[in-house]
Chain A
Amino acid sequence: MTPPGGRAAAAAGPARLDIEEVVVAFGGLRAVAGVSLSVDAGSIVGLIGANGSGKTTLLDAVSGLVSPAAGKLRLDTEDLTDYIPEERARLGIVRSFQDCRLYPELSVEDTLLLCEDARYRIDILSTTLQLPWARRAEHAKRGAVDGVIGSFGLERFRHHSTAHLSTGTRRVVDLASIVLANPRLLLLDEPTAGIAQREAEAFIPLLRRLHEVTDSTILLVEHDVPLVFELCSTVVVMETGEVVASGTPDEVRRDPRALAAYLGASEEAINVSGPAAPSSLPKAPPTE
């Protein structure tokens, strides 16, 4: 738990995630059917697979939104199984959502301040009376947020409510909150969803930079296969709740089971975007 009035004393640096035989069942459906997976500290691991193969459910299990019927989850040496999402967040597990809805009625500034809030205890009395430490805490939060707003170029949107932002800007706000949250393990659920192909390409350096800046481990769910192959050190392919292939991008690319499960036989699908051979293919029109 957070020490009273102070920042959480979380260990710094990237964390290692171990998933052991995790099963998530919705009624009779086993959305995740016994997945074991290790994500090394500091690595970027990509999770690919067709719709309904259990990728997002696996992320949900790691971030605590669904509780597994069986299996173990460990962050470094800590057993996560009984932790609620808030407690996992305090350990440094940060999650971004596919819909990137954020908080429609909150302004960008407040959305970012909220990431800082998570690290402080709510202290009603000293906030209401504006005691010195409450003032100092709020001042510190605003300082951190100002820095991020500056470096992400969000100054213009500071007081806009999130509901009025374009999807792209919301993604930037989401990334800014990730940086503020200071993750040790970052769970990204389709960060390029709803973004035009050309902008998705720009995401590769952006995600690399995010990896560097936050000094974290990244577990990434993504449909853009070339992006995953370009970015990740390990690629895991899932099908109907099970891992069918995993390894380095090169290994997976040659793995027949991976090809059968998701990639399909065509090499072209693998090369849709990414710097390998992008120019020969038609581009989606740039959108806002």
Chain B
Amino acid sequence: MRFSGLCAVLLALSVAAAGAPVGAQGSGPIRLGASLSLTGTYAKLGKNQHEGYKLCEKDLNAKGGLLGRKVEFVVYDDQSTPATAVRLYEKLITEDKVDGIMGPYSSPVTEASANVTEKYKKVMVSPLAATTSIFKKEPRRKYIFMVISPAEGYMEGLVDMGAKRGLKTVAVVNEDTLFSKAAAAGAVESAKKKGLQVVFQEAYPKGNTDFSALLTKLKSVNPDILAAATYFDDAVALTRQMKELNVNPKMYGVTVGGDLPEFYDTLKQNAEYIYGATQWEHTLPYPGNQEFFETYKRDFGHEPSYHSAAGYAGCLIYAEAVKRAGSLDADKVREQLLKLEMKTIFGDYKVDPDGFQLAHKMVMFQWQGERKVTVWPDELAQVKPRFPTPPWTQR
């Protein structure tokens, strides 16, 4: 309800702006258009990204705007559906004639929307798309830029830490969906690179709640490391059943879900020693991160998630490129985005010629004493990992 009201206002504003005889360039505010998942399945995450954009808008304007003009976001709700987002980006570009575009939430929505922005040759910094294929599709897309680390990198840290401690074997399990498959493939790849042997690999269907047979097999090969490419529900179910069947690898890590406070609330002490991957934590020593965290909490009344931070940083990356280009012209901004190397509150930004992220680092945390603490990479680690994981009865 609230969002549809907001959209109506935004719609009215944009119609008024389109009707005004302003020769879009040169005067009035710079309008940045985005479609976000404000309702539907991704609502919670899309809302955080939206707040990241809003905070970026506020901070830019506090520093005198962009190219001497105020910055203003035009945001519509795509209800978490790619088809709606396509329509909205089309509208933003052709009807609202916005000056710049920012990306939507999630890989599927970005994948669909990128076709529109490419068609109209509009630069789109996409802060929340982690699927490699979006950026490496043939023919290559020219105007899309990645901010977060790709899915394949989620388990690199777990394997790396294990290899450094002399572990030899890895088991990889994953939910059979786009992101998790990519994360599992990445884990297998890193294991090979570090000379570890993958002794077990199996996918399970989305919504699976009984892992007895899978874990029975896994137990029989007794891997040193278990890398599980999960979402939240399955991460919880898998962990509970590992305890029941006494499956106890020396290291056990999950991809998504393990970073949520609910993960610990649900599993309590059974979450201890579990590793997880995350794109961002407010405790990371990135420039401005602490201030971002405080301001965000004050402005929106809750803590930011990595979606908030990526949205905020993505918007600032785009602004920096515009500043350097001295223009809103898509090709000039694109040139700058390709050259740009930037340290943001979200971590480093640097892309390859396809706009694919190279510099941003995933970090691994471990649940230790009811808190998640960063344990990898070494230069960002707060503490050493508690290794190896003790038997379930001693947690």
Do they bind each other?
A: no
- Where the two chains meet, the residues of B that have a C-beta atom closer than 8 Å to any C-beta of A are none
- Where the two chains meet, the residues of A that have a C-beta atom closer than 8 Å to any C-beta of B are none
